[in-house]
Structure 1
């Protein structure tokens, strides 16, 4: 009788010890990334690009940025990996007079419904095939080669709608404190910051997305 009680008591003590160890390990878990280093929590109130209910991942980019050209196929693959509760968006950054035509080209391509087939192709034409693509006329030539009506492209690119959208997006980019490209912003709440590779940028983005999905 005593031996049975002793064995039961030992088992209870061991179970308690294992539980305590598990709790200690859980409470001592360390996040793989640090706020203020690999990512930054943006000041409240957080402002998303759209009011849709999905977790929003935005890449701020420019067709004039060679780093964006290198990241573009990586971003495209990343966007295809997200679950249904996540939406990937592109926002062009008109950070300089030289980059304004590229922003206008993006909005025009989006309005004309050709963005999906021209986005990566424009990067390739400019940085791999070395076409002279900088001015509005040169951009119009590129889209014409891609089968887009040149006049329709110019009308969309220079329209009041495009100008207003560009100004609105630039104000939002500034609220996100984006000062370089490519930059990833999650839900208007987190900005991926000091990373050392595109793979790390992707990893931090995926980790922040999982946090937001868990929060929802």
Structure 2
């Protein structure tokens, strides 16, 4: 009995020490950057992205891993400043807001990325984007009504204002609790980038 208590005590000390080491393995300026004095009132991990950003496309498995680990905190916000032609970036941000409103975010997102970077058929007009919704079982009328609604325009504008207020000027950018910017370049030597980056998100959520 005494031996069991001793072993359990030793194990607890090891676990506490290990946890401390893990927490200290993330360094400010290397793995994350502090961009604000205050944090949000509730936990949030926001990926600012663009459907016209190939790096965002490649980061999709990482974004999904973070969402799976933190489903209540994770969200995506499209930005308009990446635009291959005219104001199509703004149109795409509204389309993303529309997809969210129509409960079709995942399938529409996957389809748009597929067109832009797998099929080499970049969507550069509102009609192109409308057709993607139609082939994903959302009628043209539904798309038109959503795109014309005040609530969708407001949601898209909010995404852009939020990105601007946080100094987002490149994609993908992951910001935690409105205070911490995650730095992918800090994991150049990682043996498992997805796991390490996801762990960083969890660490910053609790920080």
Band the TM-score falls in, shorter-chain normalisation = 0.7 to 0.9
Partner of 1:188: helix, strand, or coil? coil
Note the 1:51-130 alignment, pairs <5 A: 53=42, 55-82=43-70, 86-96=72-82, 97-130=87-120
Q: Structure 1: which 5+ runs fail to align?
A: 1-21
Aligned length: 183
Q: 1:163, CA displacement in angstroms?
A: 1.9
TM-score normalised to the size of structure 1?
Answer: 0.73
Please identify the structure whose Cα radius of gyration is greater.
1
Change over 3 Å in CA distance of 1:208–1:116 after alignment to 2: closer
2: distance between equivalents of 1:201 and 1:33? 15
2: distance between equivalents of 1:167 and 1:74? 26
2: distance between equivalents of 1:125 and 1:98? 15
Which stretches of structure 1, 4 residues or more, deviate above 3 A after TM superposition?
Answer: 196-202
1:189 corresponds to:
179
1:173 corresponds to:
163
2: distance between equivalents of 1:63 and 1:200? 22
Change over 3 Å in CA distance of 1:58–1:172 after alignment to 2: same
Calculate the aligned-residue CA RMSD, in Å.
2.8
Change over 3 Å in CA distance of 1:207–1:62 after alignment to 2: same
Q: Structure 2: which 5+ runs fail to align?
A: 1-13
Q: Relative to structure 2, which stretch is displaced further, 174-183 or 191-200? A: 191-200
TM-score normalised to the size of structure 2?
Answer: 0.75
